[in-house]
Amino acid sequence: MANSLTLFTRNPYDSMQEDNLTSTVVVEKAAASKSADLSLMFRQAMLAGISISIGCVVFLRVGGVAGAVLFALGLLTVVHFKLPLYTGTAGFVMNRAELNRLWLILAGNIAGCLLMAWAMAYAEPDLAEKAGAIAAKRMALGPGQTCVLALLCGFLMTVAVKFAREKSFLPLLFAVPVFILSGFIHSIADAFYLLASPLSLLAEAPAIVLLNYLMAVIGNFIGCNLWRLFSWKLSY
């Protein structure tokens, strides 16, 4: 009888409070989970930037065809460990949420390049001059030229990553030397070259450096998505 009375006399407002509390806990847990996922993605993107930077270092040391081929180890590392790389992700974005995450990936990649540039400035300071030579070539280009060269690199990167995701790595081993030896521009590799260059060089024309780098990012994005102009279908 007492239980029946409790059921009839229970304040409906109490139930509403409990429901609201439950909803709040669920929302907070979802927000915390999302924050953790984004933090992990950023850290993995940093590792991707470091991997590409290692490829840049070996290219600066060896140069030529051999250096371009050895550079491919950086992208192989990214693909094998499924690390988020801007040029390996841009061509596979399918919705606004993924597009928003792409900019987080780009920031993480650049942060990884910055860490690697600092490490090389300490451990191998002579690399700054070699990185500066590449940076100077980039600065000599116009924004339109930069965008076109980056577009071509972006196209090659999507092709290479698509094949690699299907366990076919030979196209990747060709695509990386091809974009390097052709002078095409990879925005993440260029982030390392620029950050590893002498500050005095970049200080000569900071506006040009920033504009051309922005055009490299845009060009890569366009090139990575050239497949959308045709009837191809790419899957993850």
Q: pLDDT confidence of 174, banded at 50, 70, 90?
A: very high
The per-residue b/e assignment along 11-28, b for 16 or more CB within 10 angstroms, e otherwise, is: eeeeeeeeeeeeeeeeee
Give the pLDDT confidence of 49-84 residue by residue, as tens digits.
Answer: 999 999 999 999 999 999 999 999 999 999 999 999
pLDDT in the model for residue 207:
95
The per-residue b/e assignment along 144-175, b for 16 or more CB within 10 angstroms, e otherwise, is: eebbbbbbbbbbbbbbbbbbbeeeebebbbbb
Q: Compute how many other C-beta atoms are within 10 angstroms of the C-beta atom of residue 136.
A: 14
**What CATH number is given for 20-229 in this structure?**
1.20.1080.10
Domain boundaries, the chain: 20-229
Percent composition of the chain: helix, strand, coil (DSSP 3-state, to 5): 85, 0, 15
pLDDT in the model for residue 194:
98
Contacts of 9 (CB under 8 A, 6+ apart): none
Q: pLDDT confidence of 7, banded at 50, 70, 90?
A: very low
- Tell me the whole-structure pTM to 2 decimals: 0.84
Give the pLDDT confidence of 99-148 residue by residue, as tens digits.
Answer: 999 999 999 999 999 999 999 999 999 999 999 999 999 999 999 999 99
Cα 143 to Cα 145: distance, rounded to the nearest angstrom: 6
- Nearest alpha-carbon partner for 69 in 181, 156, 223: 181
Q: Write the single-letter amino acid at 99.
A: L
Cα 175 to Cα 155: distance, rounded to the nearest angstrom: 10
Range list of β-strands (E), 57-115: none
Ramachandran quadrant class, 24 (left: phi over 0; alpha: psi -120 to 50; beta: rest): alpha
pLDDT in the model for residue 165:
86
Cα 45 to Cα 74: distance, rounded to the nearest angstrom: 13
pLDDT in the model for residue 105:
98
Cα 6 to Cα 178: distance, rounded to the nearest angstrom: 78
Cα 177 to Cα 11: distance, rounded to the nearest angstrom: 73
Give the pLDDT confidence of 194-225 residue by residue, as tens digits.
Answer: 999 999 999 999 999 999 999 999 999 999 99
